[in-house]
Amino acid sequence: MKKRFVILKHEKFNHNGFIFPYIAFVSVVIITALISAVALVHNQQLETYQYYEQLKLDTLLQMGKEQLRTEQSVLDKDCPRSRTYTYPYGTATIRCEQIEDGILKARFTLETNKGTIVNKLVNFRTDLP
């Protein structure tokens, strides 16, 4: 005598669609897993994009600070006019607010190539080598 599969016992075998509940349950589980996987991939792509934009903004900030620091001989005792620097990742516009005791307070407007715009108020020393 042949052994039958445990789930498909002889008493459950009839001609009115005995296997539909099992197929429906497995289908729901597979579809739920696929939808969850797609949502996770989408969220991870969005997170990676935002992390990359943040990295570019930090790079623009550091490049702008360093270029302003190297031009300190051009800076007057008064706050200089607005300066715009263009870099490979985007642009940095720097507006000086005040200089006191070698500390420059400047407002940085950073814009990446993808269009992300951030304003930052930065204090840094201009008299460092």
Q: How far does the chain reach from its first CA to its final CA, in angstroms?
A: 92
H-helix segments, the chain: 20-70
Inform me whether the pLDDT recorded for 96 exceeds 90. no
Inform me whether the pLDDT recorded for 60 exceeds 90. yes
21-25, 77-81, 121-125: least confident range: 77-81
Specify which of 2-11, 32-41, 80-89, 113-122 reaches the highest per-range mean pLDDT.
32-41
Looking at residues 92-109, what average pLDDT do you find?
A: 83
- pTM exceeding 0.75: no
Cβ atoms of 61 and 122 closer than 8 Å: yes
Within 13 A of 18's CA, how many CA atoms are on the CB side? 9
Cβ atoms of 64 and 108 closer than 8 Å: yes
Cα–Cα distance between 102 and 104 in angstroms, integer?
A: 6
Mean pLDDT for all residues in the chain: 82
pLDDT-derived band at 112, boundaries 50, 70, 90: very high
**Closest CA relative to residue 91, chosen from 125, 66, 56, 52:** 56
Percentage above 70 pLDDT, the chain:
75
Residue 39 CA: distances (Å) to CA of 30, 42, 43, 83, 97: 14, 5, 6, 43, 45
